[in-house]
Amino acid sequence: MGRSSRLFEIIQILRSATAPVTARVIAGMLEVSDRTIYRDMVTLQAMRVPVEGEAGIGYVLRAGFELPPLMFAPDEIEAIAVGLALLGRTGDGGLLAAAARVGRKIAAVLPRTVDSRIDGSSLHVSRWNEIPPSPVEYRVMRQAIREERKLHLRYEDAGSRSTERIVCPIALVYYVDSVVLATWCELRQDFRHFRADRMTTCRPTGELFAGLGEGLRARWSARQALFAIT
C-alpha cells in the first residue's frame, strides 16, 4: 500500500472510531510498524487534517471533518455492494481485504443519507458452496502477473500425480467452484492451466518475463475463444 493510500485509510479508521485509536492498533490493521503510523500522524497534522492525540494514548479525528461527497445513483451503490460481497466467494483473502478497504473509502465519501447502503444490509450474497481457501497465496499469483515474474509451481493433477513447472503467469480465472491460474509453461512451451487448490507450492523464481505478458494474454485470449479451459 502506498503512502497516500495509507494516509487515506488512517483517516477512515479514525473517522469511523468511537474512541481514541492507538498507533499500534492502526499499524496492525494496515500491516506497518508503529513508527510508520507516528510519522503518518505528523504528516496528516501538517496537512491540517484535525487529528488529535499522542503516542501511547491514542488518536481521534476532530468532529466536523468531512471529505467531499461522492455521488452515485441508488442502483450504482447496490451494484458496488454486491460486487464487493461477491469477492468473498473467491477464497482470495487479499481481494476480500481490498474489498473491505474499498467499501470503507466509498462509505466515507458518500453523503450521510445514503452511506448505509454500501454495507449491503438489504442485499446479501450467499456464502454457500464458496471456493475454499487455497494452500498457496493468491496475492503471490496476482503480484507475479502484474510484475511479470516467473513462478515455480508444485502441482497435483486430478490423478494425484505430482509435477513441478516454471511458468509465466498471465491471468487468474475465477470460476464458481475453483480458481485457475493461466500460464505459459516453459516445459510444454504452450499455455497451461493450473487449479489453485491443487498447488502445493507457488513462489517467484526471481526471473522476469518483462514485456511479454500483454502479448501472451492476447494469444491466450484468442485461443479461449475457440477452446474451453479444462
- The model's pLDDT over 167-207, given as tens digits with 9 standing for 90+, comes to 999 999 988 888 999 999 999 999 999 999 999 999 999 99
Q: What Cα–Cα distance (Å) separates residue 202 from each residue in 30, 140, 166, 169, 172?
A: 25, 8, 10, 11, 14
Helix, strand or coil, per DSSP, at residue 117: helix
Residue 123's region, left for phi above 0, alpha for psi from -120 to 50, else beta, is beta
Determine what percent of the chain is predicted with pLDDT higher than 70. 88
- Residue 43: phi, psi to the nearest 5? -65, -45
Where in the chain are the domains?
3-61, 74-119, 138-224
How many other CB atoms sit within 10 Å of the CB of residue 6?
A: 18
Q: Give the pTM.
A: 0.64
The C-alpha cell at 139 is 496475492
How many other CB atoms sit within 10 Å of the CB of residue 8?
A: 18
Q: Which CATH class is domain 3-61?
A: mainly alpha
* CATH level 3 topology of 138-224: SH3 type barrels. (2.30.30)
Instruction: Report whether pLDDT(116) > 80.
Output: no
